[in-house]
Amino acid sequence: MNNIIRAIGSIWIALLSLPSQAAITVTDSLGQHQLPETPKRIVALNWDLAEQLIELDVVPVGVPNIKDYTTWVVQPAMPASVEDLGTRAEPNMEKLAALKPDLILAASPQKDLIPRLQTIAPVLYYQTYNAEQNSAQAAIENFKHIAQVVGKTPLAEQKLNQMQQRFSELKGQLESAFNGSMPSVAAMRFANQTTVYLYAQNSTTDYVLHQLGLTTALPQPAKEWGIVQKRLTDLQHVKDGYVIYFGPFTQQQSEQLNKSMLWNAMPFVRNGHVNQADTVWNYGGAMSMEYIAESITKSLLEIKPKS
């Protein structure tokens, strides 16, 4: 009898030591879904999704177009172990399947691929950027949802709180540098030498400007991806404000810009109220907003008024 009891006890101990395989309920932009367990091998098919996993200390097994990620997104750094899957619009399906993911994260550039992706692994879809929603709030909510998927909710809350604290710190630096008279700022990217992209009122960049206590020099209505294309000549309306343009911007592009008579005629150029900002991804996840804030602040402090 004692041998039987000991045997039963050993079986229970063995069962209790097995990893939990309980299903989890998760949320994406399409609703709620059931996953058989917390996923370990995750493919992220958009850069904003990849960066959010990395911020949550989860290394994706595959991400598209890693070379351009390192040029345009920069932060957080892409781990060397991540496999490149081609382009975001047309990822390499064979290579993706060979990675044997147990979850695929997709965004709007891959929405039409979801039925095909679902033949490889479960798919969660997160949409952050469209004209009908505030991209900053959507980015924060999606970050929380992704954190729940990977079992990192406490870390996500910690990082979001730290981001708000960082906004306050940077705002204080700007208030000190500008003697409490905070400037209006036009944040933009160059499309080419005569055309620019301004960030609209629903963009994460505009959200960051307001978190820093700044006003938008050329407000734009809500648009998909939060950008509005304008002619360079439209910047003439930035009178006493500042213009910050995000990289990447090559030395050759800078030289061409500095030779432009149109550019040099702009009031903000004549006033010395213009500067390039460090490269950040303005269409990213929640944590990208902290990098945007740091980039804008650094750029403005470099051209602050002389005391």
Per-residue pLDDT for the chain (307 aa), expressed as one digit of tens each? 555 545 444 444 444 444 445 789 999 999 999 999 999 999 999 999 999 999 999 999 999 999 999 999 999 999 999 999 999 999 999 999 999 999 999 999 999 999 999 999 999 999 999 888 899 999 999 999 999 999 999 999 999 999 999 999 999 999 999 998 999 999 999 988 889 999 999 999 999 999 999 999 999 999 988 999 999 999 999 988 999 999 888 888 888 888 889 999 999 999 999 999 999 999 999 999 999 999 999 999 999 887 6
pLDDT score, position 8: 45
CATH topology identical between 22-150 and 168-302: yes
In tens, the pLDDT along 15-30 reads: 444 444 578 999 999 9
pLDDT score, position 257: 87
Residue whose tokens read 């740091």: 294
Q: Hey, what CATH topology would domain 22-150 get?
A: Rossmann fold (3.40.50)
pLDDT score, position 21: 57
Q: Which CATH class is domain 168-302?
A: alpha beta
pLDDT score, position 258: 85
pLDDT score, position 3: 52
Q: Where are the domains of the chain?
A: 22-150, 168-302
User: How far is the C-alpha of 177 from the C-alpha of 271, rounded, in Å?
Assistant: 17
What DSSP letter does each residue of the chain carry, written as one string? -HHHHHHHHHHHHHHHHSPP---EEEEETTEEEEESS--SSEEE-SHHHHHHHHHTT---SEES-HHHHHHHT-SSPPPTTPEE-B-SSSB-HHHHHHT--SEEEE-GGGGGGHHHHTTTS-EEE-----TTS-HHHHHHHHHHHHHHHTT-HHHHHHHHHHHHHHHHHHHHHHHHHTTT-PPEEEEEEESSSSEEEEEPTTSHHHHHHHHTT-EESS-----GGGEEEEEGGGGGG-SSSEEEEES---HHHHHHHHH-HHHHTSHHHHTT-EEEE----TT--TTHHHHHHHHHHHHHHHTPPP-
pLDDT score, position 22: 75
